[in-house]
Amino acid sequence: MNVARNLIVTTIAAILLMALLIAIFLGESARMHEAALAQKGESIARGAMLYDSYCAGCHGKRGEGLAGIYPPLNVENLWEGREDIAFYGSLHDFIALNISAGHPNQNMPSWADDYGGPLRDDQVEDLVQFVMNWQGPQPPGVRGEVVATPTPAPEATAEAPTGPVEPGDPERGGELFANTCASCHNTDAKGGALGPSLVRPDIAAQDDDFFRETIINGRPGTAMPPWGGTLSAQDIEDIIAWLRERQAEE
Amino acid sequence: MAENKETKSRRDKAREWLNGYLTSVFAGLSPQDLRDMFRGKPPGRPNPRYKPHTTSFWLHMKPRWYPKSVTRFSYTFALGWASAFLAVVLGISGILLMLPYTPSVDKAYFDILNIMSNVPFGKLMRDLHRLGAELMVAIVMVHMLRVYFTGSYKQPRSFNWTVGVILLLITWLFSYSGYLLPWDQLAYWAVTIGTSMADSVPVIGKNIQLLLLGAPAVGQPALLRFYALHVIILPLALIIFFGIHYYKVVRQKISPPPSVAAGLREDKERVPFLPDVLVREALWVILGLLFMLISVVTFFEAPLEMHADPNLTPLHSTAPWYFLWIQGLIKLPDIFGGLVEGKFIYGVVLPGLVFALLFALPYIDRNPSRLPQDRKLAIAIGIVAIILFGVLTWMGTPAYKAQASPQEEIALEFVPTDREGAIHELSWDELAEGTYDTETFVSGAMMYPKGLETFMVELREAIEKELPGGVGTLTITVWQKDLKRIDLDLRWTEGGEEHTFQQHTYIHRNMISD
């Protein structure tokens, strides 16, 4: 048994071990912080599931409530306009108390198992976190505003271009395509680095509305931006007409 | 000149004192002896390196020397050593985990959450403990196999084999009792299934289950009982039986390889413990720790499901992997015509029989030879047993006879409500708001975020396989700040009728690590 070799390898391995332990030590504070944030996020997600089962029936699927009967929960500030409530604790505790013990005279049952309800204290806490997540500014659509088409990010403020349109002119469409679209989709629309081929059979099989929708609103999460604010409705018809000619050639 | 002599003498006196002190610390080995030892100098006469084995507590447990043939790694694979190493790692990480943990059904789960996010190195300790536990069960079982295949359980070591089987039982109980402590769905239902076999025992079954659980169902009494088992009862039993086991190993010496034992070859060479084996064991300690730490930092994580819920049995509940063979057994058809429950025969009698056979092995196998050529039957039985264990283990998984309906299975794989699924692999930005369905979804065109595309393609393939002609629709909605709702709708036709199935879940931005 080679003692000298073993001693050397042990020493090297021990140094590696120390280095690893130091790296773990240095990163631990940040990791704990991330973990705490993740746990809070999970609590909100669980609260959302519980809300669907237990609360949405009265307070509405999106927390909109029922006017005059069940208060809305999705408002920006639950305290606002509630001068009738004399509560000296935090909003968190107020919500937790309401959920746990209910409002006997106002049709709000008690939900915590301590008061005869079906929920454990941690489930009540998850619901509180979920309701509190409605406070403050929210992305569009959350409070039930009507949004034209599914637009996720606030920067996609694409307006649907309006106005009467003539049937598309392929020649004009070709020029528009060359100036606007070819940089990603290539001059022959057969696709480039950033944009797919627009003459492929499965894409060509889509109807005109598909193309209109994609050009106006873009494709969130990909490189396709919304063009609704830049191109007019006629521009879009012309481009589609040119594309249809190219697709027919395939 | 007289002053120089005095100063020199004071320094000499100090050095003398230090040498004497260190010699007593190192049980009779002077610093010079130690230096010579580690630098490879042969020992003088009389050999000072054997004295510590008489005078030192720790070293009196270790042999002075080993026959060379026994030290070959590929003979024992150091499995017994590895079990002891893991026991120490588990003990230390276990004690550190005890400090922030309360064995109460109201607190246990949240203490685990706290350990993972608020106790410095808490997650590290938990992951190390879990990894150590899984490795321990595996290594202890492989150690048993090694001892079986080298025939080391034969006389004069038969008693020690029996002690070893008791240690195997202790290891399994350690792992099983620890399994319950996080009080999550995984823990609760694994133990509920496991202990449900107890009450199938005729006449005394109900009382056995009461003894195990302290109540008719798994609850606070069970948690306390399992905790007491895990932190004090089993550790005491371990110390006693491990003490006996290791004492016999040192006194009777590790069994020589079969060819040496049969006199077919000679082994006169001795490898001394100090320094050779000591240095090698030190190397193994460091390598073992490195392996465990690297595993825990890269791929290994102790799982934690949702809080235990007695009203909600999760799909695909399984026993811990080393008990899957029993779960496989109880899926076998009940052929006992109602005289006894199938659960009793398959879950209690057969495993009991297996244990009895293991215990009695040295007294069943009377063949005195340890050579493989003289033990063909024993080796064949061993191989068959391993294969049987593998098959039964597979049968214990949900893949065998425990699948839910195709639509539930698809929903479970892609948009599960209580665990991680395919949808959780997407990044936050890839969860683009919108409606996507498998019929009209266009793939391979960079039209959708990559993760979403992969998801939809896999969903389409799964539906084609399990619900032919069916369509799946995925809807992603921004529900609240940093919260998205994921809806999965499945529609298919069966027997001329339209069927639908829906499942939804929520994902918060912070749940996804970027």
Q: Does A104 touch chain B (CB under 8 A)?
A: no
Can you say how many angstroms the Cα of residue B305 is from the centroid of all Cα atoms in its chain?
A: 18
* B313-318 own/partner pairs: CB under 8 Å, 24+ apart: B313/B189, B314/B185, B314/B189, B314/B418, B314/B419, B315/B398, B315/B404, B315/B408, B315/B412, B316/B398, B316/B402, B316/B412, B317/B185, B317/B189, B317/B190, B317/B193, B318/B190, B318/B396, B318/B397, B318/B398
Q: How many domains does chain A have?
A: 2
pLDDT (0 to 100) of residue A206: 85
Are B144 and B244 within one domain?
yes
The reply to whether residue B511 touches residue A45, judged by beta carbons under 8 angstroms, is yes
* A103-108 own/partner pairs: CB under 8 Å, 24+ apart: A107/A58, A107/A69, A107/A70
C-alpha to C-alpha distance for B281 and B82, rounded to whole angstroms: 10
B216, B221, B227, B233 alpha-carbon torsion, rounded to 10° = -80
Are B41 and B87 within one domain?
no
**In a domain? residue B323:** no
B458 has a pLDDT exceeding 70: yes
Are B425 and B294 within one domain?
no
Provide the domain limits for residue A89: 56-132
Closest CA to B118 of A44, A43, A29: A29
Are A75 and A124 within one domain?
yes
Dihedral pair phi/psi, residue B152, rounded to 5°: -75, -10
pLDDT digits (tens, 9 = 90+) for B289-308: 999 999 999 999 999 999 99
Q: Which residues from chain A sit within 8 angstroms of residue B504, using beta carbons?
A: 52
Question: Is the separation of the CB atoms in B191 and B323 below 8 Å?
Answer: no
**In a domain? residue A46:** no
**Closest CA of chain A from B114, distance in Å:** 9
pLDDT classification of B2: cutoffs 50, 70, 90: low
Closest CA to B432 of B450, B418, B414, B416: B450
Strands B497-508 and B65-67: unpaired
User: Alpha carbon of B455 to those of A250, B157, B223, B427: distances in Å?
Assistant: 30, 57, 40, 12
C-alpha to C-alpha distance for B29 and A211, rounded to whole angstroms: 87
Are A128 and A179 within one domain?
no
Domain stops at, among A103, A132, A161: A132
Q: What stretches of B416-470 adopt beta strand conformation (E)?
A: 434-437
Domain stops at, among B273, B291, B314: B314
Are B99 and B179 within one domain?
yes
Closest CA to B332 of B343, B318, B340, B319: B343
Are B15 and B37 within one domain?
yes
**In a domain? residue A184:** yes
Domain stops at, among B284, B314, B344: B314
pLDDT digits (tens, 9 = 90+) for B499-514: 999 999 999 999 987 5
Q: Which residues 36-55 of chain B have a CB within 8 Å of chain A? A: 38-40
Q: What is the 3-state secondary structure (H, E, C) of B32-90?
A: HHHHHHHCCCCCCCCCHHHCHHHHCHHHHCCCCEEEHHHHCHHHHCCHHHHHHHHHHHH
**Closest CA of chain B from A208, distance in Å:** 14
Position B357, amino acid = L
Q: Which residues from chain B sit within 8 angstroms of residue A130, using beta carbons?
A: 480
Question: Is the separation of the CB atoms in B499 and B491 below 8 Å?
Answer: yes
Are B54 and B72 within one domain?
no
**In a domain? residue A30:** no
**In a domain? residue A17:** no
Are B124 and B24 within one domain?
no
pLDDT digits (tens, 9 = 90+) for A199-243: 888 888 888 888 888 888 887 767 677 787 778 888 888 888 888
Handedness of CA B14, B20, B23, B29 (dihedral sign): positive
Peptide bond preceding A196 in cis form (omega within 30 of 0)? no
pLDDT digits (tens, 9 = 90+) for B89-111: 999 999 999 999 999 999 999 99
**In a domain? residue B386:** no
DSSP B81-115: HHHHHHHHHHHHHHHHHHTT----TTTHHHHHHHH
* DSSP code for B150: T
A147 has a pLDDT exceeding 60: no
A151 has a pLDDT exceeding 50: no
Are B168 and B89 within one domain?
yes
The reply to whether residue B433 touches residue A150, judged by beta carbons under 8 angstroms, is yes
Peptide bond preceding B46 in cis form (omega within 30 of 0)? yes
Q: Does A27 touch chain B (CB under 8 A)?
A: no
Report the CATH number at residue B305: 1.20.810.10
Question: Is the separation of the CB atoms in A121 and B107 below 8 Å?
Answer: no
**In a domain? residue A16:** no
Q: Which helix (H) or strand (E) holds B503?
A: strand B497-508
Q: Does B509 touch chain A (CB under 8 A)?
A: yes
Report the CATH number at residue A205: 1.10.760.10
Question: Is the separation of the CB atoms in B105 and B42 below 8 Å?
Answer: no
**In a domain? residue A188:** yes
**In a domain? residue B366:** no
> Which residue does chain B place closest to A30, by CA atoms?
B117
pLDDT (0 to 100) of residue B276: 94
Are A174 and A128 within one domain?
no
Are B209 and B100 within one domain?
yes
Are B100 and B47 within one domain?
no
Question: Is the separation of the CB atoms in A4 and B41 below 8 Å?
Answer: no
C-alpha to C-alpha distance for B483 and B428, rounded to whole angstroms: 10
pLDDT (0 to 100) of residue A163: 63
What is the Cβ-side half-sphere exposure of residue A20, based on CA atoms within 13 angstroms? 19
Q: Which residues from chain A sit within 8 angstroms of residue B276, using beta carbons?
A: 1, 3
Q: How many domains does chain B have?
A: 3
**In a domain? residue A19:** no
Q: Which residues 161-190 of chain A have a CB within 8 Å of chain B? A: none
Q: Does A144 touch chain B (CB under 8 A)?
A: no
pLDDT digits (tens, 9 = 90+) for B404-430: 999 999 999 999 999 999 999 999 999
| Number of other CB atoms surrounding residue B203 within 10 Å | 7
pLDDT digits (tens, 9 = 90+) for B227-248: 999 999 999 999 999 999 999 9
Percent of chain A with pLDDT over 70: 88
Percent of chain B with pLDDT over 90: 79
Q: Which residues 51-80 of chain A have a CB within 8 Å of chain B? A: 52, 62
Provide the domain limits for residue B448: 406-511
DSSP A186-206: -TTSS--SSS--SSSHHHHTS
**In a domain? residue B71:** yes
Can you say how many angstroms the Cα of residue A221 is from the centroid of all Cα atoms in its chain?
A: 11
C-alpha to C-alpha distance for B123 and B302, rounded to whole angstroms: 9
Residues in Cβ contact with B235 at an 8 Å cutoff, skipping those fewer than 6 apart: B91
pLDDT (0 to 100) of residue B495: 86
**In a domain? residue B254:** yes
Are B210 and B186 within one domain?
yes
Are A109 and A177 within one domain?
no
Question: Hey, is A146 helix, strand or coil?
Answer: coil
**In a domain? residue B152:** yes
> Which residue does chain B place closest to A25, by CA atoms?
B121
Strands B471-480 and B483-494: antiparallel
Are B143 and B35 within one domain?
no
Quick check: pTM over 0.90? no
Are A181 and A117 within one domain?
no
- Which among B117, B277, B283 has CB closest to A35? B117
C-alpha to C-alpha distance for B324 and B178, rounded to whole angstroms: 17
**In a domain? residue B308:** yes
Domain stops at, among B314, B329, B345: B314
